[in-house]
Amino acid sequence: MGAPRRATRLAVLTGVVALTAVAFAAEIPLAERRSGYEFMGRETRAMQDDDTANPATLSVLEGAALWTRKIGAAGRACADCHGDASATMKGVAARYPAFDAARGRPIDLEQRINACRVDRQQAPALAWESRDLLALTAYVARQSRGRPIEIAVDGRTQPFLEAGRAAFQRRQGQLNLACSQCHDDYWGRQLAGNVIPQAHPTGYPLYRLEWQALGSLQRRLRNCLVGMRAEPYEYGAPEMVDLELYLMWRARGMTLESPAVRP
């Protein structure tokens, strides 16, 4: 009579495992979403709240200077077309990554700035994570601080959003981990000394104390992928932008804090 009982026990066990899998695979309910800011210590929050203490402000000031500098064969500055950034760039960063008709796919804010440089200013594209690109991105993103993130999802962006979601939930790397395992299932718990945040990119580009520098969301994603011992996507890779799109959509309605400070 041992065999049937064992079979029952096995069935129950399988059921429990299946239930757990279902329970853990869910995305975070909208009302329970929290910015990484809320997981930070008092000192780091104070650093972000005070523009004089936030080192990213230095980059914003650099970006403001670059905004009015004439460059490239066209001899134009960003300001020559876009005018006063505090008016024209308000809310722009909260909409990126956005669909670009010319490329037939979503592009992120860095790619938009570089597209403008190459097409309109006829200047060479800025390198990823270069000081100037980060400064310009920080300056543009700063104009949207306090605005809600609003990613437009329509027929054109839907497939890329789904690709990003799939990448977020796909197990990868030598540790065989998915992004969602940490950030959907175990947020608020500890990974060594650090609290696991919910992965809402509300403050990029941001000043990371660990980096001692300003960095983009793509740099952060590459860090995470290396931590999972997965092959990180190249800067500007389509998979990277899909993931950015999904993460920003996941944070829809949350307040943009750019440029933020994180530990």
- Report the catalytic residues: 224
Site for another protein in 123-162 (CB under 8 A): 131
Cβ nearer to another protein, comparing 204 with 207: 207
175 contacts another protein (rule: CB under 8 A): no
Residue of 2, 52, 87, 190 that binds another protein (CB under 8 A): 52
CB of 47 to another protein, least distance (A): 8
By the rule CB under 8 A, 42 interacts with another protein: no
Task: Verify binding: residue 263, another protein, rule CB under 8 A.
Answer: no
The answer to the question of residue 71 lying near another protein (CB under 8 A) is: no
Element (H, E) at 79: helix 78-82
Identify residues 192-221 at the interface with another protein (CB under 8 A): 209, 212-213
Spatial separation of the C-alpha atoms in residues 233 and 236, rounded to whole Å = 8
The one-letter amino acid at 32: E
CB-count exposure of residue 55 (10 Å: 0-12, 13-18, 19+)? middle
Closest by alpha carbon to 248, among 102, 116, 55, 92? 92
Kindly report the number of other CB atoms within 10 A of residue 79's CB atom. Answer: 16
The residue range among 8-16, 47-55, 138-146, 242-250 that interacts with another protein, by the rule CB under 8 A, is 47-55
Q: How far apart are CA 38 and CA 117, in angstroms?
A: 36
> What residues make contact with another protein under the rule CB under 8 A?
50, 52-53, 55, 57-58, 61-62, 65, 131, 209, 212-213
